[in-house]
Structure 1
Amino acid sequence: MDTMSNGADFGFEHRPAHATARVLLHALAALLAACLVALGAATSAHAASGDGLIKVFVVPEPTQTGGQPATLQSIAASTLGDPSRSVEVFDLNRGLAQKDGGALNGPDDQLHPGWILRLPQDAAGPEVQLARDTGAQNAVSSPPDSGQRTSPPNTAWTTMFTIPLTAVVAVLAAIVLALITAGIVARRRVRGAYAASLRAVRKLGEPMRRKRRLTQRRAAGRRFATDAESVRRAYATLDDFTPTRQQPERPVHALRVDDTGVTVWLTASDAADAPWTNIDSTRWRRPAAAGGWLTRGETTSMTPQSSVSTACLVRAGTDSDGEPVFVDLSWLDGVLSVSGDQAVARDVVHNLLAEIARTRPNTPVSVLRGADGAPAFTVPTGLRELPRVQAPAVSVPATGHGTVRAGASRRPVQGLVVVTGAPGEREAAELAALCGPGGAGWTGLVCGEASGAHWRWYTDADGHVDIPVLDVQLTVPA
């Protein structure tokens, strides 16, 4: 089975879930755009109202324009983009009294420096200013029968203030840029505060999540205790891989059974014939509709004698879809080390023993206490617990590192040695004598780190077990 371990990196990738600084920049940019839109809307609304802000042009001194006096045409060209719109400027200002007592009565009248002229609402440019008319309006018009054109109201500019539009935008932009700068400088604090708040929320909800996970795991344990159908289908699947005259047996190290078909894990160098289809380097899939596969309701023996006599299939847990995943303990070739969270590791071993009790009752089991003082272990009903087994010979166990020690050899599960914690020197020597290469042929299940273990599984406090040699994570029944 060592060829399977070369096919993948068995780690799990975790990526950051948020980028606070980027979100802050986007939010502030949106705020700037909203402020500019609001400013434009407010300016238009004020310009449209009679007593609100209006757009005006203050006639400059000739010295400010290079000696050229301002005209209605030059004003229309610079603020409206069209000299011919000077007529509109004239109509807006005809007869309006200025501060010096003068007024614009004709389109060719000379404009005096300091005059304030109204502009159409669409006027724009650096010379356009905002002003508020606070004077009284007096209608000055000729009699209707005089033949003269009626003049518009004459406005007295008693007081007026002007606000350059560019200055308003500049101040607003400066405020928003200051906020952005402050956000960038403080992004670490913001990220830290956000992370702290998330941790606090998770901490408050952890008891409920833990209770919910435990309920789900207990439901999986009850399902395993009553679901004989998946066990029958799993053993029936092995018939496709039994040895024939044409080819030797192809080891099935694990399999997954569901209503739509079955998936098997083979050695990377093996292949399955049609109707099996390849999923990746080690997994093959056969749909339930394919002929010859055991369907629901058909019966076959739950014991391995119906397929491969040495197979010992046990459900290690359920995958992300809630479907059971079987492993074949006959390919452990010695010792399984289950480390990580101690309570969940014990659940893993207890579940494996319960699975064996259902399919192989009266299998002998010997329980050893680990050197770390782990609590006693209760053997499930149906198995035959023995006192401490006398090993044929006590020897120093072979050391090994990594997920697998070497290529696995198949051996029947004739007896189980359970170590309730990390084994000490004596327990390690007994494991080597009973379960190691050339030993008594027993299978070891260790709740902790065990030197020389062929398979190594890893658990976490959430009730999961990682099986790197299969590249899967399962939920452990409780």
Structure 2
Amino acid sequence: MIRRLLLLLATTLLAALSVPTAAAAAPDDVVKVAVVRTPEQNGGRPDTLDQIAQRTLGDPGRAGEILDLNRDRPQSDGGALTDSGEVHPGWILKLPDDAAGPDVRLGRVTSGSAPAADKPYFTWKLVLALVGAVILALVTVLVVFRRRIVRWALDRYRTSAENKRLRRQIQQQGRLRARLNADFAADQAGPELAWRAATDLDADRVEAYALRTSERDVTAWVTADHDARAPWRAESDGVWTRPAGASGSDLSGGSVVPCLVRVGGDGEGSLFVDLTWLDGVLAITGSPGVAGDVMSALLADLARFRPDLPVLSVPGLGGEPTGVPSGATRVRSIGDLRTAGPGAGADDGMVRLAARRRSLTALIVIADAPSTEEAEHLLAACGPDSGQVAVVLGDVPGAHWRWVTDVDGSVRVPSIDVTVTAPAR
């Protein structure tokens, strides 16, 4: 549309600018003329109309005819013949058709009362014509392309409004994320409640791979097909809840020590996952900044609740993620990790209910997405008998879990179809 508008305006301007050329007077036909002699050419005397009439018409009395043909016609020196009859050397004078003689020549002379060079090119009429042409072109464009123009203006308005809404949302989420970070650092009751609920379920041979705690209740995503027993209540298939104040088992119970870490929070409470169910690799994808915050919060929970779990760190091009413990073991590359057999090989992003829960011997932190060859080696290093699990900033083919982050700070956990807000580091 813009190209068509510019083309139309350019055409209109060219048409307007061509008006003076089209309106200019065409030159006269070929006529007979005589050139006024200089005194040197005229025997030392100034040339006169009578003499010119005598030389070209044979009768000095016809000088008046030459005067009538040339009165007020502009000459090359800026002068013009007047009723005084005075002429200047070099002037070109039109002659009657019957003129003859050696001084008679044929030529084209233009008519007019003023030299063309003295006429201004841009007159008020021309300026008004140009302004009118532009206004006409704009009105024509508005009429012809009104629907497209309106649609374009509405799209720009909606895009601007949507950008403003997203900026406000990100700012609000930023404040919420900062508050979550402070709340997580000060919270003692939430993690203890999650651990007691996990060990309570484990004592009944019901294993939970994710829990959400709030001041009111605890929600557990369970793996076994059991009937919920009091104080637990089945909300849906595989999702149980119980009041937050219900008694729980001793934290030392259970065959496998849980490894609970927080993903984030929402209006329903804080979401924990148990890494003993990771069974391979967790890939945190999406927004790099938010993914880094999720990794930092995860490592902070490990240092707080499982300080006994060794951490292996594989730095990337930008170094290590924030929050890697100072006592972590640095590994130069993924290829240096020990392997214990083939990797798990799943790529659906969901929890495999047939996966075997296992005690963890180490957590591997990977700062960058691995290559295909590195991914195969990483899956083998985190195989079923290795006791190792890995958390990667970036996608990994074959990852058991995938958490998807967004620039507004949200984290989607597909395995339980829940989206929470990540704390900001």
Band of TM-score, shorter chain: 0.5 to 0.7
Residue by residue over 1:225-267, the C-alpha shift from the partner in whole angstroms, topping out at 9 and shown as x without a partner, is: 11011111111112432345xxxx1111111111212111112
For the residue of structure 2 that corresponds to 1:384, the secondary structure is coil
Query: What is residue 360 of structure 2 aligned with on the other side?
Result: 413
For the residue of structure 1 that corresponds to 2:236, the secondary structure is coil
Query: What is residue 113 of structure 1 aligned with on the other side?
Result: none
Query: What is residue 222 of structure 1 aligned with on the other side?
Result: 182
Distance 1:209 1:471, change over 3 A: closer
Give the aligned length.
277
Where does structure 2 lack aligned partners over 5 or more consecutive residues?
1-144
Where does structure 1 lack aligned partners over 5 or more consecutive residues?
1-184, 295-299
Query: What is residue 338 of structure 1 aligned with on the other side?
Result: 284
For the residue of structure 1 that corresponds to 2:412, the secondary structure is strand
1:367 counterpart = 2:293: no
Q: Which of the numbers 206, 215, 220 marks the counterpart of 1:250?
A: 206
What TM-score, normalized to structure 1?
A: 0.52
Contact 1:336 1:446 in 2 (8 A): yes
For the residue of structure 1 that corresponds to 2:283, the secondary structure is strand
Residue pairs, 1:116-265, within 5 angstroms = 193-204=153-164, 206-243=166-203, 249-265=205-221
Q: Which of the numbers 243, 254, 261 marks the counterpart of 1:314?
A: 261
Opposite residue 328 of structure 2, the aligned amino acid is E
Query: What is residue 477 of structure 1 aligned with on the other side?
Result: 423
Query: What is residue 273 of structure 2 aligned with on the other side?
Result: 327
Query: What is residue 391 of structure 2 aligned with on the other side?
Result: 445
Distance 1:399 1:192, change over 3 A: farther
Query: What is residue 465 of structure 1 aligned with on the other side?
Result: 411
Q: Counterparts of 1:446 and 1:279 in 2: how far apart (Å)?
A: 33
Residue pairs, 1:391-430, within 5 angstroms = 391-393=337-339, 397=343, 399-404=345-350, 406=352, 407-425=354-372, 427-430=374-377
Q: How far has the Cα of 1:376 moved from its partner?
A: 3.2
Query: What is residue 283 of structure 1 aligned with on the other side?
Result: 239
Q: Counterparts of 1:310 and 1:362 in 2: how far apart (Å)?
A: 11
Residue by residue over 1:357-405, the C-alpha shift from the partner in whole angstroms, topping out at 9 and shown as x without a partner, is: 11011532222245xx455323344x63102184334877564321137
Name the stretch that deviates more: 461-470 or 211-220: 211-220
Distance 1:408 1:193, change over 3 A: farther
What TM-score, normalized to structure 2?
A: 0.58
For the residue of structure 1 that corresponds to 2:419, the secondary structure is strand
Distance 1:307 1:231, change over 3 A: farther
Q: Counterparts of 2:275 and 2:341 in 1: how far apart (Å)?
A: 24
Q: How far has the Cα of 1:223 moved from its partner?
A: 1.0
Residue by residue over 1:143-202, the C-alpha shift from the partner in whole angstroms, topping out at 9 and shown as x without a partner, is: xxxxxxxxxxxxxxxxxxxxxxxxxxxxxxxxxxxxxxxxxx988875664343122123
Contact 1:417 1:444 in 2 (8 A): yes
Contact 2:375 2:396 in 1 (8 A): yes
RMSD (Å), alpha carbons: 3.0
Query: What is residue 376 of structure 1 aligned with on the other side?
Result: 320
Contact 2:203 2:253 in 1 (8 A): no
For the residue of structure 1 that corresponds to 2:357, the secondary structure is coil
Distance 1:410 1:357, change over 3 A: same
Larger Rg: 1 or 2?
A: 2
